[in-house]
Amino acid sequence: MSEANNQPDWVARSLKSVWHPCTQMQHHEAVPLVPVSHGRGPWLYDHEGKRYLDAISSWWVNLFGHANPRINAALKDQLDKLEHAMLAGFTHEPVVELSERLSMLSGGVLGHCFYASDGASAVEIALKMSFHYWHNLGNEEKREFVCLKGSYHGETVGALRVTDVQLFRDAYGPMLQQAHVIASPDAREAKEGETAIDVAQRAASELEKLFEEHANKIAAIIVEPLVQGAAGMAMYDPIYLKALRALCDKHKVHLIADEIAVGCGRTGTFFACEQADIWPDFICLSKGISGGYLPLSLVMTRDDIYQAFYDRDVRRAFLHSHSYTGNPLACRAALATLDIFREDDVLLRNRERAVKMTNALSPLATHPQAKHFRQRGVIWAFDAVIGDAQKAATFSRDFFTAALEKELLLRPIGTTVYLMPPYVLNDEEIELLASRTMAVFDQVMNSR
Ligand SMILES: *Cc1c(COP(=O)(O)O)cnc(C)c1O
């Protein structure tokens, strides 16, 4: 950070020509960009060899470290065979194999895969499929959607309809046809004497009321199973998903599971929904599915939904396409990722890692300036206790900067600090990450 003068000249040029995402560009007058030269395992390196532990998996996408030798080898092999071919009228082995293996992971229940490149598009595909399904069945009035308070499903215009983030609502609300927003089962909402299960049941009964009055107009409800990521790692009891499945069945509403962040083992099972012992009507996957290598997203759905589109009439077909639909390189990266899950018994190894990390972070459970220390699978989070609103507003940026000084890449969401590391940390890296996270937290809290 301090060697700004020795940086390659393209770092400063970045601010002129590159419009960075999720960024007020003016902040970079004070905060320098971090140039990345290469990555290895959980570490990112700059041009001078300064390293940063990628404790948020580069925005939740990386599963098995940077420059993973096995994923690299698969991609090099694929590169010499086929980089891309259109998927309308054509097919290729990687996309077929990936679809079959994902279907198998759902016990064959979600046996049809539709492909796109980013998470927001997968969400839009699921919304469109649900709407079009009801239309094809003659239920044209079913065209509304439901999402949870604090939900995040992406930032394209269609995905923002079901994203409940105030900042986006304020900026883009007038462009959008809003969905119904219902109570979140966020366990932090527990009142005196309530358990997480009580909160989940309370949230489910609110949904039941909405369904009783409006289900004839509602196509689908979309949720982030078990953990609402962008809401600040809001975790909830699986019983909520069970209740949701029952209510959706009873009222004939589709259940869309947005597993873009929580899928691929992040919550402890391959799909988060498995922990509630349910299957939704649609699962959206992206982020980790390509191991964090290439843009890839997909929607998995059931045969009865697929059959509602199967017809001679083009207008009954699902009308959606992207130029890079089913890109073979991205599919090969995904297949290599699934291979690692199988060969390395990743879900089991992650359970062992999680116990170590939770132990190492245990002082946070009783820390006077932290509350709601929580964990599910390979996600840890806690909320900083800050009374002053102005200080709360700068907490995230201060923490990010202080963490970089201690070789950590961490970006709190508001006042929620979270860890979402790749599934490759060894014991030493677990200790390092836990102790430095706590040191950064103390430093930032004591300096205000
Ligand atoms: C990241 C994310 C998305 C959007 O994915 P993009 O690839 O960024 O468009 C949607 N839903 C959830 C739950 C996410 O975490």
Residue nearest to atom 5 of ligand 1 (CA): 119
Q: Strand order in 416-419's β-sheet?
A: 370-376, 379-384, 416-419
- 76 shares a domain with 57: no
Does 263 contact ligand 1 (Cβ within 6 A)?
no
- 197 shares a domain with 232: yes
Instruction: Report the run of H or E that residue 196 belongs to, with start and end.
Output: helix 196-214
Residue nearest to atom 12 of ligand 1 (CA): 153
Q: Which tokens belong to 162?
A: 């079901």
Does 118 contact ligand 1 (Cβ within 6 A)?
yes
- Give the integer Cα–Cα distance in Å for 194 and 179: 29
pLDDT attached to residue 7: 82
| CATH of residue 288 | 3.40.640.10
Output the CA–CA distances (angstroms, integers) from residue 328 to 64, 79, 323, in the order listed: 20, 9, 12
Yes or no: say if 411 and 56 are a contact pair by the CB < 8 Å rule.
Answer: yes
Does 383 contact ligand 1 (Cβ within 6 A)?
no
Atom number of ligand 1 nearest to Cα 258: 13
Domain ends where: 283, 312, 343? Answer: 343
27 in any annotated domain:
no
- 431 shares a domain with 289: no
pLDDT attached to residue 233: 98
Structural domain for 305, as ranges: 72-343
Residue nearest to atom 15 of ligand 1 (CA): 261
Does 225 contact ligand 1 (Cβ within 6 A)?
no
- 95 shares a domain with 225: yes
| CATH of residue 377 | 3.90.1150.10
- Tell me which of 115, 121, 256, 287 to substitute to probe ligand 1's pocket, judged by most ligand atoms within 8 Å of the beta carbon: 287
Output the CA–CA distances (angstroms, integers) from residue 68 to 46, 81, 293, 425, in the order listed: 18, 20, 10, 13
Q: Residue 284: phi, psi to the nearest 5? A: -100, 130
**153 alpha carbon – ligand 1 mean position (Å):** 5
243 in any annotated domain:
yes
Q: How many domains does the chain have?
A: 2
**446 alpha carbon – ligand 1 mean position (Å):** 34
- 408 shares a domain with 379: yes
Yes or no: say if 181 and 256 are a contact pair by the CB < 8 Å rule.
Answer: no
Low-confidence ranges of the chain (pLDDT < 50): 1-3
- 238 shares a domain with 118: yes
Yes or no: say if 222 and 147 are a contact pair by the CB < 8 Å rule.
Answer: yes
pLDDT attached to residue 5: 59
- State the angle between helix axes of 239-251 and 196-214 in degrees (0 to 180), rounded to the nearest 10: 10
- Tell me which of 157, 260, 322 to substitute to probe ligand 1's pocket, judged by most ligand atoms within 8 Å of the beta carbon: 260
Yes or no: say if 114 and 125 are a contact pair by the CB < 8 Å rule.
Answer: yes
